Amino acid sequence: MVAVSSGPGSRQNYQTPADFMRAADAKFGPITFDLAAEPHNKQHDRYYGPHEFVERGTAEDLMLITRSQLYSPHVKFIRTDKKKGAIYERRTPNHDPHAVALNSLVQDWSDLADIEWLNPAPCTCKVKPQHVRQSGEKSGTAPNEGVGQGQQAICPNCGKVGNARKAHSLCFLNPPFADIAPWVSKCRFESLDGAHILFLVPASVGSDWFARDVWQRADVYFLTGRLSFDGKAPYPKDCMLIHYHPQTNGSCQLWDWRCQATRIDSTPTSTDA
């Protein structure tokens, strides 16, 4: 999730519940990329981070103590609240060295799949193969974009060449709930290019974005049982998990993810036997 619009104290800065993620993993398969995250709430080591953090509040809320802080180029006055007084907005650039890239909305999600060797592999190196650019292929092509079934790839460790294919990739996205529309539109169009995305949002079925970018364009799972993002209290609205993928039939169904999570938690381990 991306910490935007409400600052570090916002529920949007919390991590998606671990028990829910285990249930989603069991139902849909493992997550291979988090499309909007920070180091403390990422669902995979590969993730896109926000390009900036946006906080709104009074000068006291934002700890704008000095005049230079108040008139910083990153801070601007936005409105006057009758009770709180002047409300400011502060935008802070993100410098996350661990993120694959920043500003997820401008990235190409449909090419996030890793590639894997077709048997037999040309080597035993424990590194991921890379696409071999063919003659005449445009230089702007992403490293793995040209890889399809049986395309050539090279081992970056030993240099051996063999046949490879794109591995299945499942992306996860829990966007800032205050601004869902651009994210859901991005999901819809990226899925048309082959992206597989699990999109967790409030079940706002009366919204324009649901009618435009979700209804009959993705598989929708209305969650039975509310989620707790802070580990203390349930989120006050019902949520849904939207599965964008090229083979969607636009189905809608209820999903009691708690039953799946309970089955997983109760499965005996080898140490219990």
Range in 16-25, 73-82, 108-117 with the lowest mean pLDDT? 108-117
Ranges of CATH 3.40.50 domains, the chain:
11-50+98-106+169-264
Highest mean pLDDT range out of 42-46, 85-89, 196-200? 196-200
pLDDT at residue number 19:
93
Task: In whole angstroms, give the CA distance from residue 52 to residue 62.
Answer: 16
pLDDT at residue number 4:
37
More reliable by pLDDT, 253 or 178: 253
pLDDT band at 73 (very low <50, low <70, confident <90, very high): confident
CA distances to 44, 52, 83, 133 from 220, in Å: 23, 30, 41, 38
pLDDT band at 9 (very low <50, low <70, confident <90, very high): very low
pLDDT at residue number 269:
53
CA distances to 101, 152, 173, 255, 261 from 115, in Å: 19, 11, 22, 32, 30
pLDDT at residue number 129:
84
Tokens at residue 64, please?
A: 């704008």
φ/ψ of 91, rounded to 5, equals -115, 120
Q: Is the dihedral of CA 12, 37, 167, 17 positive or negative?
A: negative
Per-residue H/E/C for the chain: CCCCCCCCCCHHHCCCCHHHHHHHHHHHCCCCEECCCCCCCCCCCCEEECCEEEEEECCCCCCCCCHHHHCCCCEEEEEEECCCEEEEEEEEECCCCCCCEECHHHCCHHHCCCEEECCCCCCCCCCCCEECCCCCCCCCCCCCCCCCCCEEEECCCCCCEEEEEECCCCEEECCCHHHCHHHHHHHHHHHHCCCCEEEEEECCCCCHHHHHHCCCCCEEEEECCCCCCCCCCCCCCCEEEEEECCCCCCCEEEECHHHHHHHHHHCCCCCCC
Instruction: Give every CB contact of residue 155 below 8 A, 6+ residues apart in sequence.
Output: 122, 123, 125, 127, 129, 130, 161, 162
pLDDT at residue number 115:
78
Q: Which of 212, 256, 234 is nearest to 26 (CA)?
A: 256
Does 149 score more than 90 pLDDT?
Answer: no
pLDDT tens string 96-134: 999 999 999 999 998 787 778 888 889 988 777 887 654
* Fold of the domain spanning 11-50+98-106+169-264: Rossmann fold (3.40.50)
